[in-house]
C-alpha cells in the first residue's frame, strides 16, 4: 500500500499508448495498451520501477486503466 503522504496519479498518455503512474510527479511505472480488432483494450506490458516496488502501484495503475477503459466503453 502506498504511503498516505505521497501524491499518486494515473494518467492516460495517448501519444505513448500507455497509462502512467506517477508518485510525487515522478513516473513510477506504466502499462502499455492496444485496442484489438474487436475494439477491446489489451495490456501486453506493465512495468513498475524497482525503486517504487512493494507499494501496490502496479495494482493502482491497472485498476485505474481498467476503470478508464470501461468508462470509454473499450
CATH number at residue 24: 3.40.630.30
Residue 18, in any domain of the structure: yes
Residue 1, in any domain of the structure: no
Model confidence pLDDT, tens digit, residues 30-63: 999 998 999 888 999 999 999 999 999 999 999 9
Contact call for residues 2 and 57 (beta carbons, < 8 A): yes
The domain of 18 spans 8-72
Residue 2, in any domain of the structure: no
Residue 3, in any domain of the structure: no
Q: At residue 17, what are phi and psi to the nearest 5 degrees?
A: 65, 45
- Count of structural domains, the chain: 1
Section 5-32 average pLDDT = 97
Q: At residue 45, what are phi and psi to the nearest 5 degrees?
A: -155, 125
Amino acid at each position: 500500500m502506498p504511503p498516505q503522504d505521497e501524491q499518486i496519479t494515473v494518467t492516460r498518455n495517448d501519444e505513448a499508448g500507455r497509462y502512467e503512474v506517477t508518485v510525487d510527479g515522478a513516473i513510477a511505472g506504466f502499462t502499455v495498451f492496444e485496442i484489438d480488432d474487436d475494439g477491446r483494450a489489451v495490456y501486453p506490458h506493465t512495468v513498475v520501477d524497482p525503486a517504487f516496488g512493494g507499494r501496490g502501484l502496479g495494482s493502482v495503475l491497472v485498476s485505474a486503466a481498467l476503470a478508464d477503459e470501461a468508462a470509454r466503453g473499450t
